A and B are shown apart, each in its own frame.
Chain A
């Protein structure tokens, strides 16, 4: 078992959020969440987010693995294990999605005539019994059928399960499944069908083709999920204490504390964030190059860089939330319940923690969910500029960066870019749609503002 910094933090956040969810007793908050999960699009988005999260969490359990007794152990993740041979570099170069042969022709020795011929080489990953396109299509058909059967069983299971539950609770009355239940079932089923289909196909084919050095694109795309989640979640963890603590105390205490906090966030937000991030990451790059001894192996180095990137992103983006919380605290401070708490002799910290923080939490939640998708998009841009994640870390930014030159090739190599595009759109869109529902449910002015 190898625990990287980012692994630990990611698990910590997920467990923390889960725990907070489980022990939270506030009725009003629970009702709001129920309102979020009453909308079909929020449910779909939530399921997609959970799938991405599961992939990222699986990829965040690392251990040492001896492939060869002679070679030093490699650090691999649970996801690497689960994908089997996919992560091994078996092909030489590009091949199209689901292809049987390589994309371009190369010099081969014909086994019969022993003469060199110019032809497309067969991929090593594909089984020998899948000889031609017709057999391949048969395989695809079988996979689709298997996935549909899984889906049907699942849907039937949901329906029967809920029937049985309803009957046990209330034997006399026959109850129909609600619309929300159907939405859950259908979206879960759809996702299960999709994942089964891809998983079965991935056993036999390179579902999304291979890249320039012959690595499976599906594997690269799936590995990028962890990076995106860490950028989104760990950065949030970095923002939160600063913004919450500084924002609330600046608003509550006023005076010189307010002046200092305001000065700090004005200064930081005055620097265009790209420039600040570029400056900080550049500085760290040079520092790490000058002192390589303190950072361990390649994997650990890349991990430290990822962690540092989160810290830098946090440092540049806490100011907006802090400013908002300061303004809100200024308003709350004058309200009766805070005044009466003060009159009863509560200490300032107690008032901030017990009375002010719970009342700004909805703002924090909305801001964090909205920031999440922004951060994922931002990572891609930063990696393109060269101040993002380590070049050896798989992320959507590094994928796009390597894929964009491939459009200039003749014939065009389109699948790495398209894969990165679709997988990134999936997560970001899900988060954005979910954020929309969260905002509608938690924003107190939502009902007056948007739909009148």
Chain B
């Protein structure tokens, strides 16, 4: 098992290099450092001097791929590509256009982001799976049919509408929770309640339907009939046999949702003014801050890949037949 994870870790390296090359192409080749410097300095009539100066202070003053002036191996290593990539791999994200350290900013914003994303993910999984299980239990009844229709309706509505409507009704008209903002510690509960609820609601449609299909397929299998024939109560059969066997696809689904979590956080954080990573990205896009976006792409990819590795662990836990070799 340890060997397996070592190999998986090694496999991360080429993928991260690929991601790095891609972002490098986007932010340094499509838009040359000169363009970026001019954009950041504002006006179109910037002196050549100012451009050179900006490039120097931001470490953009090396050639892209190949350095003529250097000696020996340094011809290839003393370049913008190598220096920018190495700093990413060492988690030195540099400074944003506003002059703040990106690493520090990420570190500060991690807390609020996780405080929103983790409860949202867990609550959504719990509610979605229980609803789907109930629908499978009552399959073919009017409850099941109505719920399927409701699911299709709900998945046809943009997540933006849930957020706008929720913020309007619960925050503005009923005044149950603060409209937006954030405080650390236990106070955060008041501010996070509504976003977490909205994350849950917007996840209902597609997920419940998907879990229902999976669990329905499982429920037609032979072991279910055996369990009933043994005389187990329906509750036991559904909770202990069906759910246990459905765990593998459920775990796969949850991991597949992690990138979507980014999207959800992006929207929720910006609507509710939560100072997390999502609103960080939105601000960076608004300010056209390449350095931040590049760092976040790298970090996001890393998080997702680590999430994939954790799935493997979860598979072993969920299904003892699986051996990681």
Query: What residues make up the interface of A, taking CB atoms closer than 8 Å to B?
Result: 263-264, 266-268, 270-276, 278-280, 282-287, 289-290, 373, 377, 380-381, 384-387, 396, 400, 404, 407-408, 417, 421, 424-425, 428-429, 432-433, 436, 448-450, 452
Contact = CB atoms under 8 A, between A and B. Distances in A.
Given A271-B300, A286-B288, A290-B35, A278 B155 contact: no
Contact of A290 (B38, B160, B285, B301): B38
A282 B161 contact: no
B235 interface: no
- Bin the interface of chain B by size: 35 or more
B158 A278 contact: no
Interface stretch (B24-32, B54-62, B110-118, B190-198): B24-32
A283 B26 contact: yes
A266 B15 contact: yes
B267 A384 contact: yes
Contact of A279 (B36, B164, B297): B297
Contacts of B19: 267, 270-271
Given A272-B263, A279-B26, A429-B153, 14 more contacts: A271-B22, A272-B258, A275-B297, A279-B293, A282-B288, A283-B30, A286-B39, A385-B270, A385-B282, A425-B156, A425-B157, A432-B152, A432-B155, A449-B217
A283 B156 contact: no
Nearest to A429: B156
A234 B239 CA distance: 45
A385 B259 contact: no
Contacts of B300: 271-272, 275
B182 interface: no
14 contacts: A271-B300, A271-B301, A271-B304, A278-B293, A290-B35, A373-B156, A385-B266, A385-B267, A404-B160, A424-B158, A429-B152, A429-B153, A449-B220, A450-B216
B160 A407 contact: no
Interface secondary structure of B, over-half rule: helix
A231 to B, nearest CB: 13
Nearest to B26: A283
B262 interface: yes
A421 B161 contact: yes
A450 B158 CA distance: 26
A275 B38 contact: no
A449 B216 contact: yes
A449 B213 contact: yes
A408 B262 CA distance: 27
A271 B293 contact: no
Given A279-B26, A279-B294, A287-B31, A270 B158 contact: no
A282 B293 contact: yes
A384 B160 contact: yes
Interface in B253-277: 258-259, 262-263, 266-267, 270
B305 interface: yes
Contacts of B23: 279
A380 B202 CA distance: 15
Contact of B285 (A385, A396, A433, A449): A385
B132 interface: no
Nearest to B151: A432
B138 interface: no
Contacts of A429: 152-153, 156
A356 to B, nearest CB: 26
B164 A280 contact: no
A279 B27 contact: yes
Contacts of A264: 18
Contact of A273 (B164, B213, B259): B259
B159 interface: yes
Interface in B201-228: 213, 216-217, 220
